[in-house]
Amino acid sequence: MAVLELPDWTALAPALILAGTALVLFLLDSINPRSTNRSLLAGTAVVGSLASLAVAVWYTAAGVGATGIENHGVIDIMGGQFIVDQLALYFMIIIAVVTALVTVASYDYLRDHTYQAEYYSLVVLAATGMSTMAASNSLVTIFIALELTSLPSYALVAILKDNRGSVEAGLKYFLIGALSSAIFVYGVSLVYGATGSLQLEAIADGLGGAGEMGGLLGLGILMLIGGIAFKTASVPFHFWAPEAYEGAPAPISAFLSSASKAAGFVLAFRVFATAFPLEATTAIIGVDWTLAFVILAIVTMTVGNFAAATQENVKRMLAYSSIGHAGYVLIGLAALSADGGELVMGAAMMHLLVYGFMNTGAFLFVGLAEYWGVGRTFEDYNGLSEQAPFACAAMAVFMFSLAGIPLFGGFWSKYLLYTATIDAAADNAILLVLAAALVVNSALSLYYYSRLVKALWIEDPVTDRDQLAKPTGLYAAIIAAAVITVLILPAFGPIADAATEAAAAIIV
């Protein structure tokens, strides 16, 4: 059956497939609650995430959500509560890829874990919320998708019940998450009070009638920014990230730092580009809201990178590193007030795609080290390349790509983000500060990324180690992520076009 003959609701198939996969996992668990059939449970989760990825890629290739193509345009569902466009499909692809890598790696990581079915169900449910968030077009459906993402995430961080650090991290994550959800939903109520609407396009249309509600609207926008800052682990709502990532199972740290971050940014891109047009919003509240993102971007990338440079714990270093990368992506929102803002947002989206591979792979390598019983500090990683050269080579690829070294995908995405920001600075000089901050922080990040590579490849082992196992799932996920991080470079042309077109469609 051709795409054109499908009913409109099937445009949400990537998210619906994930939801169906979670239900299948629940069913398997209910039939045999004590099942430890890792192959069946992990295989079901992997097949579901790959099916979601395949459908999202198919829809993208078929032109679903593309503007200006006859019979293949943007699809509204439930009266515009959901919208499937290029932006939604682009982020559904990122989320499905990360979910597939994480579920493959979890096959070995959770080999002795009691709650196998619950674990995979929660991962796929969280991915369902993230995928749904990408297509949400109303503050109500956005909040529901946000909670569908958050609630399983809290449980996943604390799923190592015999590990005090995991339980403590889950509790801290839950408490800060509850606070941020309250802030976000209160911001939603203020925006509704000022505009009388919850659907994003209707909010934009209602700005003209906001009249004297400028203060109310401005406070509501500020609270929405706070809620989004939590989801993207941006300063000052970043405190949960190092604790949660360190205490959680390493595959979950990879999942939250990559897929969850991507979901938070697609929420930010859609809400602020669609619901709050700059000219109309500035006329009412008297302030250009992009200034908030300029400050957030600079502070977030600086705090994240400087904190990462002081860490001795590898997992915490990667956690603070992910905060720094959130600052880079925030440039996409900070540049919306300038001509060429869609190019900057498109470059930020490209960075998120590459980041999904290189950051997920880096955390999965930490998971492999935990599988081997290696300690958590840089010193504990000394000399690992002698016994695991392929895995350590993959980790070197991730580190150099995250730092922005040429020949890797991370360099090209940062380069495009930098050049797009410089071009947009012709219309807004403050963007030059953002471009400079990007360069300085990338240079700083090379210090702590290369420090880990040095430990793996140059330093001598502190203690003698037994022969290291080669778990199939973890190795497969790590090597796949490393190969794509390198091979994605020649494919940047089509990726850049897709990201830029998606950004331009929502900005216009």
Terminal C-alpha separation, the chain: 33
Instruction: Determine the pLDDT at residue 130.
Output: 95
The dihedral through the CA atoms of 443, 418, 131, 179 has a sign that is positive
The owner of tokens 């959770």 is: 110
Measured between alpha carbons, how far is 191 from 168 in angstroms, rounded to an integer? Answer: 35
Measured between alpha carbons, how far is 203 from 74 in angstroms, rounded to an integer? Answer: 19
Q: Which DSSP symbol is given to 76?
A: E
pLDDT averaged per 10 residues in sequence order, the chain, 508 residues? 65 94 91 77 94 94 72 78 92 95 91 82 95 94 94 92 85 90 93 90 83 82 91 86 90 92 92 87 81 92 94 94 94 85 90 93 94 89 90 95 89 91 85 93 94 92 79 92 88 83 79
The owner of tokens 């695991």 is: 388
Asked, as a colleague might, if the bond just before 494 is cis with ω within 30 of 0, I would say no
Q: Residue 492: enclosing H or E segment and its boundaries?
A: helix 492-507
The owner of tokens 């005090």 is: 164
DSSP-derived 3-state class of residue 84? strand
* DSSP states along 23-47: HHHHHHHHH-TT---HHHHHHHHHH
Asked, as a colleague might, if the bond just before 14 is cis with ω within 30 of 0, I would say no
The owner of tokens 């994480």 is: 102
Measured between alpha carbons, how far is 318 from 66 in angstroms, rounded to an integer? Answer: 36
Residue 300 tokens read as 């977030």
Asked if 418 and 438 count as a contact pair (C-beta separation under 8 A), the reply is yes
How many CB atoms are located within 10 Å of the residue 254 CB? 31
Directed axis angle between helix 86-109 and helix 341-372, to 10°?
10
SS3 sequence of 371-415: HHCCCCECHHHCCHHHCCHHHHHHHHHHHHHHHCCCCCHHHHHHH
Instruction: Determine the pLDDT at residue 3.
Output: 46
Measured between alpha carbons, how far is 145 from 266 in angstroms, rounded to an integer? Answer: 12
Measured between alpha carbons, how far is 174 from 256 in angstroms, rounded to an integer? Answer: 14
Measured between alpha carbons, how far is 346 from 225 in angstroms, rounded to an integer? Answer: 20
Within 8 A by CB and 6+ apart from 361, the residues are: 101, 254, 394, 395, 397, 398, 477, 478, 481, 482, 485
Q: CA nearest 46: which of 128, 112, 124?
A: 124
Instruction: Determine the pLDDT at residue 501.
Output: 85
Q: CA nearest 11: which of 83, 67, 108?
A: 83
How many CB atoms are located within 10 Å of the residue 508 CB? 8
Measured between alpha carbons, how far is 390 from 479 in angstroms, rounded to an integer? Answer: 8
Measured between alpha carbons, how far is 448 from 313 in angstroms, rounded to an integer? Answer: 11
Residue 282, classified by CB atoms within 10 Å of its CB into exposed (0-12), middle (13-18) or buried (19+), is middle
Q: Which residues sit opposite 138 in a β-bridge?
A: 199
Instruction: Determine the pLDDT at residue 210.
Output: 67
**Where along the chain do its domains lie?**
289-508
Instruction: Determine the pLDDT at residue 68.
Output: 60
